[in-house]
Each structure stands twice: as C-alpha cells, then as structure tokens.
Amino acid sequence: MPFEVVTLGETMVMVTPTTPESLETATAFSLDVGGAESNLALYLQEFGHATTWVSRLGDDPLGRRILGTIARHGVDTSFVELDPDAPTGLYVKDPGTHSTRVYYYRRGSAASRMGIDIVPTLPLAGARLVHLTGITPGLSDSCARLTEAVVDAVAGTGVALSFDVNFRPGVWPASVAAPVLERIANRCDLVLVGLDEAATLWGVETPEDVRKLLPHPGRVVVKDGAVGATEFRRTSDDHRTFLATPPVEVLEVVGAGDAFAAGYLHAFLCDLAPEESLAEGHRLAARALTTMGDYLREALTDD
C-alpha cells in the first residue's frame, strides 16, 4: 500500500529516572523509545495518516524492543533493517533543577551505518510527504550522503519534502553542521527551526533573519519557545503569521519540538490556514511539555 508519510532517522532506547531526579541520585529507571523521526511518525499515525518509518537497528534485544513497540502503535516498520554487526543506540536523560541534559551513546550504532543503498528501496510512490531531520546527516559520513541522496530523489517529484533542522550539539559541532544544514534546508519545501538553534548555527537574531537565510522553501516555521512561532508562507507574497505560545505548566522540554513538528505537518497535510497550522503545533507541543517522556509515554499517560 502507498504511504502518505515517509520518515527516516535513528531511534534509540531512552533511559529515564522514574522521578524528576538527577542520574547521580536516582535509583529507579524506565526504558522507553525515543527518536525525532519515529516520534513524528507515531503522532501522525495517531492523526490517521498512513506513515512508515525507515531506519536501522541493532539485531539485539533493545533493537527488537524498539521495532515491536513502534509497530504495535500502528506505524509501518517494514523498511527497518536489523543489523547483526552493530548495536542499537541509547540515550540517557538527566533531569536537573532548571533543565534536562541528555547523554548519547550512539557512536557506531546500526543507524549510523545507513547509506545511499537504501534510497532505491524507499516507498516514495504515492507519498504526499517525506520528512527528514538535521540529526541524520550528523550521525556519520554515510548518513550525510544518504540525507542528500533522499533530497535528490524527492526533488521535483511532486512529493513534499519537510526538514526539521533539529541541531544536536552532542552529535556534531555547529561549525561543521551549519553549512550542511543550511544547504539541505534550502532544498526542501517546508522547514522547521528553533530560533535558538538558528542563532547557534548561523548567528541570526530574528525570524526574519532566518527567512532571509532560507529563501527557497515555500514555508519556513521559526519556533521561539515560550514566546511563539512564526510562519513564512509563500503565496503571492511571503505571508508572515505569528502565534503566541499558550501558557502551559512545563514538566520537561525534551520532545516538544518533535510534537510541534507533527502537529504542524498534520495541519499541512490537511491544508489548514497559517494560524490554524501553528495552533496545531502549539497544541501538540503542550502535550509533550507536560509529561516526562517522548510520544510513547505520553500516549500511556493520556490513556
């Protein structure tokens, strides 16, 4: 069957203290599943969009745990490979007084070994949207080439290509990431980026600065945390829409960006107006901000 949405990227096992307590003192932990692209796939599947997630996992208990968990939530995983020669990535959350730090253990992971050989296997026929993030090209040289090859494969086909910049300093330094992410973003149809990460990468100060740096996408969404989000949408001109972030009691910020992207892309697929699209992003981000986990734990909490 054709898939409406195709996402590609690494998902890892997430280790989190069961209470908002430092790793140095916590005694109880949970194992969950976390990855920007699979989080988005899970949200969009929940909205009713037929979604497949493409990746590679270690052929180990953690990899099989991830694969089974995501599949049970309805996302297609038939394009996920299990690699017997490389491990599944892992990351650990360390809740602090003011923010949560994340420690990655993903070097040499199965996902980092993905390469351009998988591009011909991608289920692009019939897709409406292909979604990538700026995490994948930072994983390895082969993943950087893969990201560019996917962009090449999608460009000009009529399939929309969305890109969440999602800069991760723990994956690669800003000096290396900045030109790569700018180049990829300017080849996509829709780009989401946080104003803070844009400032780190490119030295910009305002949403308008970001738009000047990324003139080619038909839509650019600049998120500014608790302030709000600004959409630039090319119509007869470059229409600008700002929507303030609604007040919410924040428990943890990790995962809110993925949720915002999913809400906004759901609106894109439904052809909603600019303000409605930003509102969908804010609504789903608020759901993530009020829980300790990524999508899967949020879903269990909501149930």
The C-alpha atoms of residue 7 and residue 123 are separated, in whole angstroms, by: 10
Q: In the annotation, is 258 catalytic?
A: yes
Residue 265's φ and ψ, nearest 5 degrees, are: -70, -30
Task: Write the CA distances from 39 to 33, 145, 173, 255, integer angstroms.
Answer: 9, 23, 24, 8
The C-alpha atoms of residue 137 and residue 177 are separated, in whole angstroms, by: 9
Residue 164 three-state SS: strand
Identified catalytic residue from 94, 258, 302, 303: 258
The C-alpha atoms of residue 227 and residue 20 are separated, in whole angstroms, by: 25
Closest CA to 166 of 144, 192, 145: 192
Q: How many residues does the chain have?
A: 303
* Residues belonging to the active site: 258
